[in-house]
Amino acid sequence: MTPSVESAPVEADREAMRHAMVASQLRTNAVSDARVVEVMARTPREAFLPPEHRAIAYRDTLLPLGNGRKHNSPLATARLLTEAQVRAEDHVLLIGAAGGYAAALLSGLAASVVALEEDDSLIAVARGALAGFANVELVSGPLNQGWAAKAPYDLIVIDGAVEQLPEELVSQIKPGGRAVSGMVDRGVTRLAIGHRTPGGFGMVDFLDIECAILPGFVRLRTFQF
């Protein structure tokens, strides 16, 4: 379809903003995986956002998505994917798919992606935006339960911050597999990576950064006397 007179300049402006994001937000902040940089340079982030937020798609900040949800910044998502060292043969579970942006990025990096979201309005956005991504399966359910039907996974990507990873999620990672996520500690958010080994599973922080907090992952509080 030939772009309209009005849409062509808008598309060009957004492409320029996307390449500016790569140059100023990613390359200057340790996003060193060339595959991550390349897929983010060619994926139009605005296509995976509700229409009212597309004009601010490339801001280096969290974006409001409604119902208390926010979208991670491009840098937070990029650092998660860089640290994950996504392999071409990986079977990936994405938790917190939102409008499908991280799923689209993973589609270009991994063999298969199960993209989990629980918010109906975001699922509607993602369903349309991901229609042409043959190796992505969009599923609906509670984020904190993962998607056991397609487990085990080589990699779990949580595109947001949680207080803890429930054992139900850890059990869906293959032995030798890994997970990346934002973590919340007393109101401070950090990015972290974990590996599942015969000895168990643990997360190690690698970057303090503002991160979108996902619902349903609150750590149970215990009383201390």
Q: What is the pLDDT of residues 112-167, one digit of tens each?
A: 999 999 999 999 999 999 999 999 999 999 999 999 999 999 999 999 999 999 99
**Residue 108 domain-assigned?**
yes
pLDDT score of 127:
97
**Residue 38 domain-assigned?**
yes
Q: 44, 114, 46, 33: which is closest to 79 by C-alpha?
A: 33
The band of 24, judged by pLDDT with boundaries at 50, 70 and 90, is: confident
Residue type, 82: T
- Residue recorded with tokens 């990346």: 180
**Residue 221 domain-assigned?**
no
Q: 63, 59, 50, 140: which is closest to 95 by C-alpha?
A: 140
**Residue 170 domain-assigned?**
yes
Assessment of whether the complete model's pTM goes beyond 0.75? yes
Mean model confidence pLDDT for the chain: 90
**Residue 173 domain-assigned?**
yes
Range 83-113 burial, b when 16+ CB lie within 10 A, else e: bbebeeebbbbbbbbbbbbbbbbbbbbbebb
**Residue 168 domain-assigned?**
yes
Task: Say whether 134 sits in a helix, a strand or coil.
Answer: coil
pLDDT score of 85:
96
**Residue 165 domain-assigned?**
yes
Report the domain count for the chain. Answer: 1
pLDDT score of 119:
97
**Residue range 75-103, pLDDT digits in tens:** 999 999 999 999 999 999 999 999 999 99
Question: What CATH number corresponds to the domain at position 107?
Answer: 3.40.50.150
Residue type, 141: G
- Residue recorded with tokens 């032995």: 175
Instruction: List the domain range (segments joined by +) for residue 63.
Output: 7-208
Taking the C-alpha atoms of residue 90 and residue 25, their distance in angstroms, rounded to an integer, is 26
Q: What is the mean pLDDT of residues 27-48?
A: 90
8 Å CB contact between 41 and 105: no
**Residue 75 domain-assigned?**
yes
More confident residue, 59 or 180: 180
